[in-house]
Structure 1
Amino acid sequence: MDLGYNTKYPSVNDLRKKAKKRIPKFAFDYLDGGCNEDVNLHKNTKEIRDVELFPKYLKPHGGSSLKTELFGHTYDAPFGIAPVGLQGLMWPNAPEILAKSAHKHNIPFILSTVTTSSIERISEITEGKAWFQLYHPTEDRLRDDIIKRAEAAHCPVLVILCDVPTFGFRPRDIRNGLAMPPRMTLSNILQVMGKPEWAFNTLKYGQPNFETLKPYMPKNLDLKQLGLFMNNTFSGRLTEEKIKPIRDMWKGKIVLKGVATEADTETAIKLGLDGVIVSNHGGRQLDAGESTIKPLTRIAEKYSDQIKVMMDSGMRSGPDIARTLASGAEFTFMGRSFMYGVSALGKKGGDHTISILKTQLQQVMEQVCCEDVRDFNQFLKK
């Protein structure tokens, strides 16, 4: 029987271990780490796993389906690939690998403004089905041009980011020279030499760059100049006044990502946005904040009849996705899990990770006697 995945790596944790052996330490630390003392990074997953489901074994069961309708499209599973910056640093050509897998499996792929493939290339791969996440530029001209490119690429959903008003304090990245401005230290060079497959693929696909931003960047920037360009080009702090013109320009669906409170959800509804992604940026921004599952539960209970409520941050398995859906999310997104997969298994990593998550989630649904992912709340232990 073809399970769709390599049985040597039947869990995301197995992929994480393999990825750690396969990519340079500075790249793994960037992928794996949170901010400050990693408190919220670990709390995210732990508190999701405090959620319990109860099975209804004697209930009649007509089969379980993962299919989920969202914004007028029926996806094959209730999870997608979250936006991740600098994906090509962790594994060369990673965004293209993951976009191809997402399109093949009919799940959403969200492209970050600051990842290493362009809007146009990912649109080509996904036949115009990829979502796009916008880091808010300081200049209206640049904002408008990027939005027009996403529209021309037929992106169905624009995701605007609200949880990066300032860069998170990430000790690993600072030690490794990956703070802004980044630098390549002797230690990092030696790490690259110890990972020949990663180094070969980097040579094959080229040094990772911010491909979407290339048209706006002066040529031949050194690393310090690149850091200054990024700091001067983007203003992460969103306000109602910054969101209003985006809502006026964009005719498709708009989702606000990084929501952590009822107040911000109410603002999103007032501004006419179509969805929110409850998120704390994977524990990479505010170590003293809540885990994602707690505000999700409150927000879904109060506002799910007014706006689509989704979640990312902390999920590492099919059971985690089930717990999150049972807690009120209509859809879920995962970033690190897919990057572990592609870093561990290269071109096969996207298909593999999607397949194990589908298999795990399907097993949970059949175990508890849930036929439709929208009904997971009926199996929540309160």
Structure 2
Amino acid sequence: MSTTPAQCLSIADLQRQARRYLPRVIYDYLEGGADDEEALARNERRLRTHLLRPRYLVDISSRSQQVTVFGKTYGSPFGIGPMGMLGMVRHQGDLLLAETAHRNGLPFVLSGASNATTEAIAEKAPGAWLQYYPCKDAKIEADLLRRAAASGIETLVVTVDVPLHAKRERNMRSGWVRPYKPTPAVILESLRHPAWVARYLRNGLPVMENVLPYAPAGIGARDLTSFYASQVPTPHRWSLVERLRQQWTGHLVLKGILSAEDAQHAATLGVDGVIVSNHGGRQLDRGVAAIDALPEVVAAVGKRMVVMFDSGIRRGSDIAVALCLGARLCFVGRAAGYGLAAHGAAGAQRAVEILRAELDLTLGQIGCPNAADLARDFLWEERGHPPEPADIRVPPREVAADVQ
């Protein structure tokens, strides 16, 4: 059943449309987590245990979501975080999301495993941020940073929570394994998604263009992913942060921080910000929910650096909760990815509109007309009445019913 972007009322609606459009192997890559995917579900569940405490009889006739981070004012306190291999979801997926974020006055972080180059993103979306996965070859690192600075990138986001490849069983079962050569079963299932197949046949396997200059001459798109995997991940230490702080003159952010101790150490090394994140549940299945780690990180370094948040956001009210707990800025991944998959650029725009509208409604409903004023006083848990876990009902992640 065909559904327009405007008919999608929630991120869950876009998710259902994404699942219809994408072959299972690609959808599972976008959606999946590590091991039993408990961390993936925990991120969403723990966000929803935080209830909001409204204040009424407040003038909410004018509401603002603006937030200023690293000297730049954004239209809303959320942006689009890094997602790798978006070219498999939609042709030129990185560019489409970057343009969407830029058009809406939101930050965009280009993935270290992107299909677009840093230069192309910087041209289409000035002010974009760049994610960096530490790699084994120091020469590659140095050149990636040189290119980023030359392109006008001001914020480098170093992802530190991928020291090893995770065990992503859903991906293994559906066929997302290097060298990404589809099996007959994968091909047969993909034929049930003719629109995606048609685009794939027209555009071919997307190339990881950002790392192409460092690979052997003449390498194909499929083998290039294996070359990238030979460089990333690599175990790294705090000496990496010290080195990057010396080399990178712009804003330096660590993504994947989940403890006060690590946040404090980052602050002593001159890091400008941290993103409290568990990689969307894609790395350590027994890891703490990112929202549960946020308060201690804020308490430890909230006055010394910019504390941001990602992992599990599906509603505008989730963003409000994270801001109440001290985050200055949030990032969404899958939520934007669903929109991109479902309807391309129009779907990405619809995802932003949904989250922005839900956050605006939440601000009005709780009597906080300015998102910058969200604080722990707006959380019911802070009044000594936390909800019982058994009382929290989280809807199934995937619902089969058609969007009406």
Deviation (angstroms), 1:183: 2.7
> 2:337 and 2:222 mapped to 1: Cα distance?
27
The answer to whether structure 1 residue 169 and structure 2 residue 140 are counterparts is: no
CA contact (8 A) 1:183 1:223 kept: no
Alignment of 1:295-310 (within 5 A): 295-310=293-308
- How many angstroms does 1:264 deviate by? 1.1
Paired AA for residue 316 in structure 2: G
The 2-side partners of 1:20 and 1:279 are apart by 25
What is the alpha-carbon distance in structure 1 between the residues aligned to residue 49 and residue 265 of structure 2? 30
Deviates more, 1:207-216 or 1:271-280: 207-216
Q: How many equivalent residue pairs?
A: 377
Structure 2 alignment gaps of length 5 or more: 383-404
Cα offset, 1:163, TM superposition = 0.4
Tell me the SS of whatever aligns to 2:6. coil
Confirm or deny that 1:158 pairs with 2:193: no
TM-score (norm 1): 0.95
How far apart in 2 are the matches of 1:22 and 1:217? 32
The amino acid that maps onto 2:250 is G
- 2:33 partner letter: G
- Structural RMSD (CA): 1.6
CA offsets per residue over residues 176-229 of structure 1, 9 Å max, x none? Answer: 332344331112222332222112222343321211001111244468844542
SS of the residue 1:328 aligns to: coil
The one-letter amino acid paired with 2:246 is: D
Instruction: Specify whether residues 180 and 360 from structure 1 end up closer, same or farther in structure 2 by C-alpha distance, changes over 3 A only.
Output: same
Residue 108 of structure 1 corresponds to: 107
2:69 corresponds to: 70
CA contact (8 A) 1:51 1:323 kept: yes
Tell me the alpha carbon deviations over residues 291-311 of structure 1, each in whole angstroms, 9 at most, x when there is no partner: 001110111122200111001
For the 8 Å contact 2:275–2:310, the answer to whether it is kept is yes
Q: Deviations over 1:348-370 (max 9, x none)?
A: 11211111111110000011111
Distance, in Å, in 1 between the alignment partners of 2:346 and 2:203 is 17
Identical-pair percentage: 34
Question: Is the CA contact (8 Å cut-off) linking 2:15 and 2:342 kept in structure 1?
Answer: yes
Pair 61,12 (structure 1): closer, same or farther in 2 beyond 3 Å? closer
Following TM superposition, by how much is the alpha carbon of 1:253 offset from its aligned partner in structure 2, in angstroms?
0.3
Give the AA of the match of 2:107: P
Does residue 124 of structure 1 match 2:123? yes
Alignment correspondent of 1:196? 194
* DSSP 3-state at the match of 1:255: strand
Instruction: Specify the SS of the correspondent of 1:7.
Output: helix
User: Map of 1:241-256 to 2, 5 A cutoff?
Assistant: 241-256=239-254
Q: Could you tell me which residue of structure 1 aligns to residue 336 of structure 2?
A: 338
Instruction: Give the structure 2 partner of residue 323 of structure 1.
Output: 321
Give the gaps of 5 or more residues in structure 1.
Answer: none
Tell me if 1:8 matches 2:7.
yes
Range 371-380 or range 111-120, more displaced: 371-380
* Residue identity in the other structure for 1:11: S
- The superposition leaves residues 131-169 of structure 1 with CA deviations (integer Å, 9 ceiling, x where unpaired) of 000011111111000001111111120000100001110
Residue 273 of structure 1 and its aligned partner are, at CA, apart by 0.5
User: Which amino acid is the alignment partner of residue 39 of structure 1?
Assistant: E
Deviations 1:63-98 (A, max 9, x none): 210111010000000000010011111222211111
Structure 1 residues 61 and 9: CA distance shift in structure 2, 3 A: closer
Distance 2:325 2:305 in 1: 16
Question: Partners of 1:250 and 1:331 in 2: how far apart?
Answer: 22
Corresponding position of 1:212? 210
